[in-house]
Structure 1
Amino acid sequence: MSGAGRTTSRNPQVGAGKTVPRLPETEAVLEVRRAVRGWLAEYAPEVSSGVAVALSGGADSLALAAAAVVEAGHVDALVVDHRLQPGSGEVAAAAAAAALKLGCRSARVLAVQVGSAGGLEAAARQARYAALDAARAGLPVLLGHTLDDQAETVLLGLARGSGGRSIQGMAAFADPWGRPLLGVRRAATRQLCADLGLTPHEDPHNSAPEFTRVRLRTEVLPLLEDVLGGGVAAALARTAEQLRADGAVLDALAGELLRAASVDSNSEHSEGSDSNGVSLSIETLATAPAALRRRAVRAWLLAGGAKALTGKHLHAVDELITAWRGQGGVAVGGGGPGSRLVAAREHGRLTMRLR
């Protein structure tokens, strides 16, 4: 999944005396520009060195790049070529050329090798983000996710059934990833492209019914909008935003609980040692509200090296605290060849060790 090749083009028309391009003041253009301007004001007030934009050549990322050039000034376009379809190199080159025409400072094509772990969608996402992170040169990377994408993400999280965290959707900023368009509908980005005379690339994967997200987009959300009288996508996005705000408060309180329950295991005389040198007091955890306890335990497990935690993992570990019947430890997805990372209850404490 590493980058297999990189081609960078510099825009000769962009320099110290750069003239900000003028865009038509249509409704769609102004909406996207306001979204980008608001994001920059809140999350990146100092952007003298610029931002990077992940550009696929689709309508969302083209609209984002066009608005970012005006609002942020210096924009470097990063185009990932997944090499999963015939002609993908030509598509990537066309996207880079469009970026330079829009006024981006540079456009870089990143060719990647997509593996197979976790399925095609997950492997492509991992390869894409790794390549973007390696190429961003310290700049925040703006992604073209829209309100529609947010609604789809919330529905996917709801199907997982892992609690409020799974339906919080995508964050507007999770360093280094920025999503200025989470309040903008996909129709607006398409209209901006039409207003600017841009022809977006239509990725065949975006209409392939074998992908769950595509079926949500083309079948489930339209049906919900029809049955419930419209406004479903916006309502789902608002729900995600509210849950994210609530989650931030709960996470802070859970952090206080985790500090109160933590015991330095390596200073104790016990068999073996915990993977992160910290065990947790069962008594402290058991007397805490369930919502805080589970969040604290989740943070502790992740810090100790647990991987791919699910609601089932967390429920089983929580039962070690609140429904103790002498049950054995819980494998929590970490470890290595010949060993597993296991959370267990020992002498009134919750421990996590390789076994």
Structure 2
Amino acid sequence: MESRRGRLHPAVARTREAVRAMLADLPRDTTVLVACSGGTDSLALAAATAFEAPKLGLQAGAVIVDHGLQSDSAQIAETAAEQCRTLGLDPVHVKAVEVGAEGGPEGAARTARYDALRDAADESAADVVLLAHTRDDQAETVLLGLARGSGARSLAGMAAVAGLLRRPFLELPRATTAAACVASGLRPWHDPHNDDPQYTRVRVRHEVLPILEEALGPGVLEALARTAGLLRADADALDMLAAELAESAVRRTDDEVHCDVGVLETAPDAIRTRVLRQAALEAGCRATDLTAGHIAAVDALVTGWRGQRWIDLPQGVRAVRRGGFIVLGIDVTG
């Protein structure tokens, strides 16, 4: 961990500084959990949190999610849990989950994982769960958003703070977490899924980004992550305006969401489509399945009405124009 001259290794120092800055606003005695898979990024986060949290008067524990996707997944999870205990984290939860099929393998695993993290937080009365996403992860997220033709919110990438979840390492490259593990004598587990090309993110990481770096020169990762930050500020402002518009344009029943065409049709496109997207989510669509194409089709019911019957959306949600409203719900009819 320390150099021959007794100085803290720069990578370890950077991970600790990032965690300290992320936790600095929390009141003393707050419980914080680290989501740890035992991999390089999360193990570096666990070590940094174990060091910094007590200095801030915080209780720091960990949660390990066993997705059950490999034959030895239970042992891998227990090894990660033991590493967290050795670092001094307490309590340490191991959560076994069943990964469904909806949303594809990556989406289904993510849904199961985040549900488990929230359950662990409830059990520990934790106010914060720390995630180990790095600048590299952020760049990959932006590229995936571009490939899907997503809007500014998706291109804004992951937020450093999103409710319960916090990401201290979003401005650190993956190389820093790897160096911190080496310097600290930690032995991360390498997930073979991180090299499996059946996963879209893996192909972006190992095929797309190297080509971009070769064609455009170094700094692509940093530029993509920086772009996410800029777009996030814009998206936050637009979302705030959309929320204000929704107060007068949207009403909800137990089964349906009604959007007033008369109010929406005079709003700017960027605001109106945000209101419609939120309405679709409230009607039952899953964000990961709801595309810009879906929202454009619903928007056409407002701005390009020519007697269309309805628009079918993910999760069985339907949007139809009825009596001056766009009505969204399961199996709604005109």
TM-score, normalisation: structure 1? 0.84
Give the distance between the partners of 1:191 and 1:293, measured in 2 at CA.
46
Give the distance between the partners of 1:138 and 1:184, measured in 2 at CA.
29
Give the distance between the partners of 1:165 and 1:227, measured in 2 at CA.
27
> Which is worse superposed, 180-189 or 323-332?
323-332
Structure 1 residues 106, 316: closer, same or farther in 2, change over 3 A?
Answer: same
The letter for the 1-side match of 2:103 is: G
CA deviations 1:162-189 (Å, max 9, x no partner) are: 2212211111121212111100111000
Which residue in the other structure is 2:221 paired with? 233
Which residue in the other structure is 1:65 paired with? 46
Secondary structure of the corresponding residue to residue 220 of structure 1: helix
Give the distance between the partners of 1:321 and 1:37, measured in 2 at CA.
48
Which residue in the other structure is 2:255 paired with? 275
- Asked if 1:169 is matched to 2:157, the reply is yes
Give the distance between the partners of 1:160 and 1:32, measured in 2 at CA.
32
- Greater fraction helix: 2
Report % sequence identity.
Answer: 49
The letter for the 2-side match of 1:123 is: A
Give the distance between the partners of 1:47 and 1:123, measured in 2 at CA.
36
Give the distance between the partners of 1:31 and 1:62, measured in 2 at CA.
14
Which residue in the other structure is 2:103 paired with? 118
- Asked if 1:291 is matched to 2:270, the reply is yes
Which residue in the other structure is 2:325 paired with? 349
CA deviations 1:302-341 (Å, max 9, x no partner) are: 2233343221221111111111111112223355xxxxx4
How big is the shift at 1:47? 4.7
Pairing of 1:48-63 with structure 2 (within 5 A)? 48-63=29-44
The letter for the 2-side match of 1:103 is: G
Structure 1 residues 329, 142: closer, same or farther in 2, change over 3 A?
Answer: same
- Asked if 1:197 is matched to 2:185, the reply is yes
The letter for the 1-side match of 2:137 is: D
- Asked if structure 1 preserves the Cα contact closer than 8 Å seen for 2:134 and 2:174, the reply is yes
The letter for the 2-side match of 1:104 is: L
How big is the shift at 1:252? 0.7
Q: Which runs of 5+ in 1 are unaligned?
A: 1-22, 266-272, 336-340
How big is the shift at 1:260? 2.7
Secondary structure of the corresponding residue to residue 313 of structure 2: strand
- Asked if 1:34 is matched to 2:13, the reply is no
Give the distance between the partners of 1:327 and 1:164, measured in 2 at CA.
28
CA deviations 1:62-109 (Å, max 9, x no partner) are: 110111112222211111122222322222222111111212123222
Give the distance between the partners of 2:102 and 2:325, measured in 1 at CA.
35
Structure 1 residues 304, 119: closer, same or farther in 2, change over 3 A?
Answer: closer
Structure 1 residues 321, 274: closer, same or farther in 2, change over 3 A?
Answer: farther
The letter for the 2-side match of 1:348 is: G
Which residue in the other structure is 1:46 paired with? 27
- Asked if structure 2 preserves the Cα contact closer than 8 Å seen for 1:172 and 1:182, the reply is yes
Q: 1:93 aligned to 64, 73, 78, which one?
A: 78
- Asked if structure 2 preserves the Cα contact closer than 8 Å seen for 1:96 and 1:109, the reply is yes
Give the distance between the partners of 1:311 and 1:24, measured in 2 at CA.
51
- Asked if structure 1 preserves the Cα contact closer than 8 Å seen for 2:46 and 2:84, the reply is yes
How big is the shift at 1:24? 6.3
Give the distance between the partners of 1:167 and 1:331, measured in 2 at CA.
25
Pairing of 1:311-330 with structure 2 (within 5 A)? 311-330=292-311
Give the distance between the partners of 2:67 and 2:241, measured in 1 at CA.
41
- Asked if structure 1 preserves the Cα contact closer than 8 Å seen for 2:279 and 2:328, the reply is no
Q: 2:281 aligned to 263, 281, 302, which one?
A: 302
Give the distance between the partners of 2:116 and 2:249, measured in 1 at CA.
39
Secondary structure of the corresponding residue to residue 230 of structure 1: coil
- Asked if structure 1 preserves the Cα contact closer than 8 Å seen for 2:156 and 2:227, the reply is yes
How big is the shift at 1:31? 0.7
Q: 1:207 aligned to 192, 195, 200, which one?
A: 195
Which residue in the other structure is 2:3 paired with? none
Structure 1 residues 116, 301: closer, same or farther in 2, change over 3 A?
Answer: closer
Structure 1 residues 301, 121: closer, same or farther in 2, change over 3 A?
Answer: closer
Give the distance between the partners of 2:203 and 2:314, measured in 1 at CA.
30
